[in-house]
Amino acid sequence: MYLDELHLLNFKNYQEANVRFSPSVNVLVGKNGSGKTNLLDAIYSLSFTKSAFASSDAQCIMIGQPFFMIKGKFNKAGKFYELMSSVQTGTKKTFREEGADYQKLSDHIGKYPVVLIAPDDVELVRESSEARRKFFDSIISQLDKTYLEALMQYNQALKQRNSLLRMFQERGTPDWLALESYDQILIRVGKLIYTRRFSFAEEFLPVFRKYFQYIVGEDEVTDLEYASELKDKSFEEGLIKNRQKDVMLQRTSFGIHRDDYLFTLGNGDLKKLGSQGQQKSFVIALKLAQFEIVQRAKGFKPILLLDDIFDKLDDFRIAKLLELMKSELGQLFITDARPDRTGELLRSIQVPAFVFSVNKGDVTPVNNSVSS
């Protein structure tokens, strides 16, 4: 699968852009703030129906404009498919495939997979459990529609249960029967989510370890463990035991929404003991494992988006990543503020690439390939 064409209107700093890409390596060069990352975000949005960096669609509309539109033409197995995403201020998002609107955006997830590696990904190690849950949920959701539906049902029931708990606090009288109706939903779909997360972690771990060892070039012991309260206690028991506590806290204090993924290096916590280089290598290995797992399930390679990746790695890790680019990966998009560096790196592995100059929202193809 690859992205053949991309058209933007009023998306972030792009008033209008029309670009045709190579099915292999595409390099976006330009100064910081020119719009390179925004271009990757537009591609990401066509895959996941939402931005990777903005918390709301409204934040993606160009300042002073009433709407944005992203249109892309993808090639899958020799057949072209056109996707379109459009948001107008004050109205519902429109998302179309081949001119037909999706009734549920969730139906689109996983059909045109991309993997994004960005500088802030190291926050997967450093931030709270929520970031790690979202990472793994996004992968599983691309592979398993039942899981995605269960996750959406769980989050909706959790939101409603927490609202009910706040109402109890205001009234001073809990309605246990009303609470039970939401508990039953959480229990039913929560068990499914727990089981799928557990099995996926077992599938993911050996693939991740393979890439980590490849990138660091050393026999370092790494581990990734799925941690859940449901390992030691049934969902029913946990919810009932914590009811009074939930009323006092005004939120649900037991369940799979509190799950975490523990990252270890050697015998300790990666966040505390790992160097910056080890943490970066760990995160890149996570993303490359995501790439392989999705490829296995879909039967084709996802699009790989590398945002400013060479600026964050040492020469050894760059060399290992370049080896993968040459042999294992499909369509790539690489951003870099230093075109000379990217050109030299790609020439070193004799990989032809199409170069685009990005300047304040304008995208211009550069005539010659960096490998020539």
Q: What is the CATH number of the domain that holds 191?
A: 1.20.1050.90
145 and 23 inside one domain: no
61 and 144 inside one domain: no
Q: Above 90 in pLDDT, residue 367?
A: no
What H or E segment, with its residue span, contains residue 184? helix 176-216
99 and 239 inside one domain: no
The residue out of 299, 329, 361 marking a domain boundary is 299
Q: Above 60 in pLDDT, residue 370?
A: no
269 and 150 inside one domain: yes
144 and 265 inside one domain: yes
Range of the structural domain that residue 186 is part of: 126-299
Q: Above 80 in pLDDT, residue 196?
A: yes
Q: How confident is the model over 232-251, as pLDDT tens digits?
A: 999 999 999 999 999 999 99
235 and 283 inside one domain: yes
Strands (E), the chain: 2-11, 14-20, 25-29, 67-76, 79-88, 94-97, 100-101, 114-117, 222-227, 260-265, 268-269, 303-307, 332-336, 353-359, 362-366
Residue 12 lies in a domain: yes
Q: Above 80 in pLDDT, residue 95?
A: yes
Q: How confident is the model over 103-122, as pLDDT tens digits?
A: 899 999 999 999 999 988 98
Partner residues linked to 6 by β-bridges: 19, 72
What H or E segment, with its residue span, contains residue 157? helix 145-171
Average pLDDT, the chain: 91
Q: How many domains does the chain fold into?
A: 2
